[in-house]
Structure formats: C-alpha cells, structure tokens
Structure 1
C-alpha cells in the first residue's frame, strides 16, 4: 500500500493514550501544540503527564475507553495488550501501536517548524532513533542560517 504524509487538524479531536510511562509522555509532548483533547489511561502515570492532559484515569485500561476516541496510542509495556487494543479499534479510528507497527494504521513524524516551513521526518515506524538523529542534525543546520 502506498503511504502519503498528511497533516491532521487535531483541534478538539479526542485522543486516547493507553499507558503512562516515558513513551506515553513523548507522544503527549508531541500533541501539545495541536489542541487535541487528551485522555490518559494507565494504572501508573508519570507525575509530569498530569499537567499536560485534560483527563487522567489512573486505572487499568478497559475496552470501553475506546468509545468516542478518534486517535489511540497504545503505549503500554505489554505488547499483547497493545495488540488487543489495536485490533479492537473501529474503522473510523486511527491507532498507533508503539510496540508493533504492523498493527498501526498511522505513524508519527518528528516535526521541525522553521519560519513558515514545516519539516516532517519519518521512518514508517522503523527507526525512531535515526529519525531523532536526523531531526537534531537539521535543527543544528537551521540554527546556523
């Protein structure tokens, strides 16, 4: 299947993050400027997540949590649970399983905004570390302009 980079308007869109650790925090930070309405569900949630989201449910995930959500990020440290969540989403929902790209129907880009230009860098979920290195190199280059 051919993939196309797109930009989504997430203003007031409902986003569910399942998981409350470092990966969830990274995803939440990436959503901060979008205007998305973010809900986090996890038995344990990093303290720094609280001020960044609209809703916190400090408890185990329940499948009813998927209802009325538009984007779902599976960020738990339990790959089996992440796959079960990804399999349960509706046809009108987008899901990013951070532990198994094969069950995701979208991936995030690392984004750089420079003046009126936006640069998105991605690897189809293959290599986030390389994406981050490329992003940093571009930022260093842009800082010299």
Structure 2
C-alpha cells in the first residue's frame, strides 16, 4: 500500500460469515495472544483509520474501541489476513497492564488439563472499579 492510498486493496470477506469475522489480537513485542474479538466492516474501517483496535460488540451490538472505558488501548502495529480472508490477526501495543475485561493481561488465562482447570494468571485490576 502506498502512502497515498486511503484503503488497502485487500479487505476481509465479511459476507462469508454473515458480516462478522474473528480477530485474534496479539502483543506485538511478546507474541502473547491477548484476546479474540469480532469485526464488521465498520470496525475494520475504524481500525484502519484510527490505528487503534476497534471491535464489534456482539453483546451490546455496537462498535467499541478497546480501552474506551478502561484506558487500556490497543495501538495497531500490524494487520494480517489469513489465506481465506475470513480471519484477522492484529498485532498491537497493549497500553495498560491488561487486555481482558476480567483484569488479566490475556483473556486466555484458564488452562485445561486432563482432570482440571488451572488459572494461570491473576487479575491486574479489579473490573468492578472500571466497568459498571
């Protein structure tokens, strides 16, 4: 993409999965997988424009910029599309200590073993102090 282009020539196939595509979000420096979110075309365009991660909230049926309530913003460093154009990988700089609404660094904090579930990280903040 040249600097004069306003939009990339390649965009995800939003029609394929009914208007939403999964977005895997990864820490740009460490490679840690932080979360899985969803995007529609409006979230995609907002992410490209702002260079901050913007998702579609399936719960609230609206766009949400990561960190708008918690100040734990995700600055987009790199955007990759998979070969089928139906999954996005965002590599981000996670501002703030946690990406998960539970207060943890990553949403993936529950390790499933053959006989148990292990909690592999503790909350870094109390979600009740941040979210109503």
Do Structure 1 and Structure 2 share a fold, with TM-score over 0.5?
no
Higher strand share: 2
Higher relative contact order (CA 8 A, sep 6+): 2
**Normalized per residue, which structure has more helix?**
1
TM-score using structure 2 length? 0.30
